[in-house]
């Protein structure tokens, strides 16, 4: 399958920090009362947004704890019931998914991975997507992720991403869902303490002002 260049140079250890808005997308989809583990946490930015109970990596801001997720077993973090992460965007990503599913299956747990939008297209991965009874949702991000500003001062990414969700507690035979997340510009988002009606009036006013200026 042909791969489109992302527009970014490859970073060491595929260390791409997940922007806060991307992490916030998954928060309402994590089942309540789950014990969450972020196993590729790096600086811990995503772990803090999703309020993970555990955060680990080969190297982290919490200390070089040297936890290789792919070498963990069911005896490690035995109370975890949800694994949520942005895995390395290389061959390890599929291994992360398979390992997560294996760990969570006996616990009827939950798994969420941030991946390239077409990651579920390969025939060799059909068993962890279309044919997997736990796979239940894909959330397509309609806004492209800006991982970091390039040396030339531009930030025009070309790669698309989505959150992929698995839940071993879901009813068997239920078809997976596909959702589309539309990230609004900051000026269109509801302000703290602002009601829906107040936001709508403000947005309309912004639109009228733009028309007058054009």
CA 113 vs. chain centroid, Å, equals 5
Structure-block tokens of residue 144: 């492209």
Q: Phi and psi dihedrals of 2, rounded to 5?
A: -70, 140
Instruction: Answer whether 35's CB lies under 8 Å from 52's CB.
Output: no
Among the listed ranges 8-22, 30-44, 128-142, 155-169, which one has the minimum average pLDDT value?
Answer: 8-22
The reported pLDDT for the residue numbered 148 is 72
With respect to CATH, is domain 12-183 assigned 3.20.20.20?
A: no
CA distances from 38 to 81, 152, 182 (A): 11, 33, 25
Beta strands in 49-195 (DSSP E): 54-55, 82-85, 110-116, 135-141, 161-167, 177-181
Q: Integer distance in angstroms from the first to the last C-alpha of the chain?
A: 44
Beta bridge pairs of residue 201: none
Burial of residue 47 (CB within 10 Å: 0-12, 13-18, 19+) is: buried
Instruction: Answer whether 177's CB lies under 8 Å from 136's CB.
Output: yes
- Summarised one tens digit per residue, pLDDT across range 77-128 is 999 999 999 998 778 999 999 999 999 999 999 999 999 999 999 999 999 9
The reported pLDDT for the residue numbered 155 is 63
- Summarised one tens digit per residue, pLDDT across range 159-207 is 999 999 999 999 877 899 999 998 877 666 667 887 878 877 776 776 6
Query: How many C-beta atoms surround the C-beta of residue 30 within 10 A?
Result: 18
pLDDT > 90 fraction of the chain, expressed in percent and rounded? 60
Q: Where are the domains of the chain?
A: 12-183, 184-214
- Better pLDDT: 157 or 11: 157
Instruction: Answer whether 29's CB lies under 8 Å from 138's CB.
Output: no
The reported pLDDT for the residue numbered 204 is 75
């Amino acid at each position: 399958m042909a791969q489109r260049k992302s527009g970014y140079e490859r970073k060491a250890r595929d260390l791409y920090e997940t922007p806060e808005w991307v992490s916030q997308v998954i928060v309402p989809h994590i089942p309540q009362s789950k014990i969450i583990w972020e196993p590729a946490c790096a600086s811990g930015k995503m772990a803090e947004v999703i309020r993970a109970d555990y955060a680990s990596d080969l190297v982290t801001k919490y200390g070089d704890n040297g936890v290789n997720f792919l070498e963990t077993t069911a005896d490690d973090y035995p109370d975890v019931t949800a694994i949520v992460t942005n895995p390395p965007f290389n061959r390890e990503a599929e291994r992360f998914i398979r390992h997560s599913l294996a760990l969570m299956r006996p616990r009827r747990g939950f798994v969420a991975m941030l991946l390239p939008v077409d990651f579920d297209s390969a025939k060799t991965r059909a068993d962890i997507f279309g044919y997997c009874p736990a796979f239940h949702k894909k959330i397509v991000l309609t806004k492209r992720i800006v991982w970091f500003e390039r040396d030339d001062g531009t930030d025009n990414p070309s790669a698309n991403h989505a959150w992929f969700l698995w839940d071993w507690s879901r009813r068997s035979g239920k078809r997976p869902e596909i959702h589309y997340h539309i990230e609004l510009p900051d000026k269109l988002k509801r302000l703290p303490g602002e009601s829906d009606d107040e936001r709508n009036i403000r947005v309309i006013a912004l639109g009228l002002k733009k028309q007058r200026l054009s």
